[in-house]
Amino acid sequence: MKLICKLCNLDVSKQVIELKDLSLLNKTDGQDLIPEGFYIVADDDDYFTPQHKGFIIINIKDLINSNYHSDKSRLNGCCGYDGSDGMNRVCLSKHEIGTERSDCWMSHFVAVDPESVKFV
């Protein structure tokens, strides 16, 4: 499966399959949370912020056809992007699609908004 932007139908992820073995999640700060090629849906586990409940979690390297948000206030972080100020990733047509979290004090992933994308 892959994710496409609902508004412009552009591919925004590589092929991904659901990760069933959650023991493969790596919650070490500064490292990838989820292996490439997989996704999970953020549940109400304490690990994910409440605003990401139901979002599709993928590896940053699996996000394609995407840029950073033009609103710099969305791009805070000390050495990466902390994703604490709303969605910071857009498709190439500038539609908001999700939030990259890639700062040093968190494990790294993109939380893709299920309202903005669909699986095909």
3-state secondary structure (DSSP) of residue 8 = coil
* Least distance to Zn ion, CB of residue 18, Å: 23
* Least distance to Zn ion, CB of residue 42, Å: 21
Residue whose CB is less far from Zn ion, 22 or 104: 104
Determine how many CB atoms are found less than 10 A away from the CB of residue 45: 10
Residue 93 near residue 46, CB atoms below 8 Å: no
Largest Cα–Cα distance in the chain? 36
Determine how many CB atoms are found less than 10 A away from the CB of residue 19: 17
Residue whose CB is less far from Zn ion, 24 or 94: 94
* Least distance to Zn ion, CB of residue 39, Å: 19
Residue whose CB is less far from Zn ion, 61 or 94: 94
Q: Which residues lie closer than 8 Å to 50 by C-beta, 6 or more apart?
A: 44
Residue whose CB is less far from Zn ion, 62 or 103: 103
Residues that bind Zn ion (CB under 5 A): 5, 7-8, 78-79, 91, 93, 95, 103-104
* Least distance to Zn ion, CB of residue 66, Å: 9
Q: Which residues lie closer than 8 Å to 49 by C-beta, 6 or more apart?
A: none
